[in-house]
Structure 1
Amino acid sequence: MKLLNVLILAISITVLSLDVSTVRNAYKEAAQDSSKIEAFSKLLTNVSKNDDVTLVAYKGAAIALLARNEKRIKDKKDLFVEGISYVEYAIEKAPNNIEVRFIRLGIQENTPKILKYKGDIEEDKQFILKQFKNINSSNLRNHIKDYILQSKSFSDEEKSVFSR
């Protein structure tokens, strides 16, 4: 019983010690370089649905990214669906969390049409456009801004607001 308590404490400390800005940067790198997906995923191994919803959404993104490297289509789809379940869970728990919406937008925008996971792009985009000014973290603001400026979902007019 004591061993179980120590193990739970160790896992909790690991999750609590995760710095969100480190996770953000790892996500950005993994999304751009498939050789970094595994490291990003390992960073979030101990995150569960009981943890901070932002970390839960990033874990979902990590699992969805892992699907890219699978050989068999069924394995790709199964991993993708598992990853998306984490992202959707996070949105269900915190629908007004801009970072969680941003994560879903990034996944939907970069997912093949065959997976039929593109239904909330416009909703998330509008949410981000309206709430961007309320972000307190400069790290998060820059992270989202960088994505918007290269995104195909945002018009040149919408991007011009962020390039000032």
Structure 2
Amino acid sequence: MKFLMVLISAISINSLSIDMSTVRNAYKEAAQDHTKIETFNTLLLKITKKDKATLVAYKGAAIALLAKQEKKVKDKKKLFIEGVSYVEYAIEKSSNNIEVRFVRLGIQENTPKLLKYKDHIEEDKQFILKHFKDITSSNLKYHIKDYILQSKAFSDEEKTVISGQ
């Protein structure tokens, strides 16, 4: 029984010790600069599907970004599928979480058509637009707004509405 309590505490402490603004910054940097992907992945190495859905989604994004660095197509595809499985698990676990939707949108928008992972772009985009005003974290709001303003998935009109919030 004591072992179980220690294990649960260790898992909880691990997910609590990761600062979300650090994760968001690392995600943005890794998405823009392939030399930062390994650092982003290392930050989330200990995250499992038992952690918070947001962290699980970011771990999936880290794995999907790692796939870009693989040389063999087979290895790229395997890693990408693994990463997407984390993201989709996070969506199942917390479908009303705007940050999880934001992570999935970012991956889908930047994934080649060949991988056929673009089915939820419009759904996630509409969810984000509808709930953007409800975001309480200024750091999260900044990251989502920054993404929207450079995204091709959002119209100029939608960008104007978001930039005013």
Q: What's the TM-score, normalizing by structure 1?
A: 0.94
Alignment of 1:135-146 (within 5 A): 135-146=135-146
Q: Provide the rounded CA distance (Å) in 1 between the counterparts of 2:88 and 2:10.
A: 27
Q: Secondary structure at the match of 1:154?
A: coil
Q: Secondary structure at the match of 1:45?
A: coil
Query: How many residues are treated as equivalent by the alignment?
Result: 164
The alignment status of 1:133 with 2:133, answered yes or no, reads yes
Unaligned runs of 5+ in 2: none
How far off is 1:3 after superposition? 9.1
Q: Provide the rounded CA distance (Å) in 1 between the counterparts of 2:87 and 2:11.
A: 21
Q: Deviations over 1:68-119 (max 9, x none)?
A: 0000000000000000000000000101000000000000000000000000
Runs of 4+ in 1 over 6 A off after TM superposition: 2-8
| Aligned position for 1:23 | 23
Alignment of 1:4-43 (within 5 A): 10=10, 12-43=12-43
Q: What value does the CA root-mean-square deviation take over the aligned residues?
A: 1.8
Q: What's the TM-score, normalizing by structure 2?
A: 0.93
Unaligned runs of 5+ in 1: none
Q: Give the letter for the 2:75 counterpart.
A: D
How far off is 1:163 after superposition? 2.2
Q: Provide the rounded CA distance (Å) in 2 between the counterparts of 1:7 and 1:115.
A: 38
Q: Give the letter for the 1:95 counterpart.
A: S
Q: Deviations over 1:34-82 (max 9, x none)?
A: 0000000000000000000000000000000000000000000000000
Q: Provide the rounded CA distance (Å) in 2 between the counterparts of 1:126 and 1:68.
A: 28
